[in-house]
Amino acid sequence: MAERFVTRGFGGRPRSAVGLAARIPPGQHLVTDFPVLSAGPTPRIDLATWELALSGLVRAPVKWSWPEFLALPAEEFTKDISCVTTWTKLDMRWRGVSVDTLLEHVELAPNALGLVAECHGGYTTNL
């Protein structure tokens, strides 16, 4: 019996499609600005006390100060982004430290299945 779902080698929509519409997923609409959605006002954080920590189902938690985080290797790339709120912005330029780079600094427990990000103020989201 043939498999009903692609499980390996899925590369997304072929780039040979012509026009912007071919790059926009079904149910999305194109935006030219970057919509800012927030759970509240953006707090001012003292960078002398800022930290990023990876903890939980890891052998040993790690923590970076702002200067230590800036010293990590950063990547630059251009990607389309499609939000769950139904907008898509094409050719967004990004620069930053990848999650892969951060995870190189910890040994995950075999039963670690996901990641929860928590920010200043207690807001959380899963990745």
Q: What pLDDT score was predicted for residue 80?
A: 94
DSSP 7: -
Share of the chain above pLDDT 90, in %: 58
Residue given tokens 């251009």 in the structure block: 78
Calpha distance 108→118 (Å, rounded): 18
Structure tokens at 34: 């970057």
The string of pLDDT tens digits covering residues 107-127 is: 999 999 988 888 888 888 887
Look at residue 47 and tell me whether its pLDDT is greater than 50.
Answer: yes
- pTM score, whole prediction: 0.70
Calpha distance 3→62 (Å, rounded): 41
CA–CA distances in Å: residue 108 to residues 25, 57, 71, 120, 124? 33, 6, 23, 24, 20
Mean pLDDT of the region 12-37: 77
Q: What angle do CA 66, 96, 31 make, to 5 degrees?
A: 125
The string of pLDDT tens digits covering residues 72-96 is: 999 999 999 999 999 999 999 999 9
Q: What pLDDT score was predicted for residue 124?
A: 87
Structure tokens at 94: 């990004």
Average of per-residue pLDDT values in the chain: 84
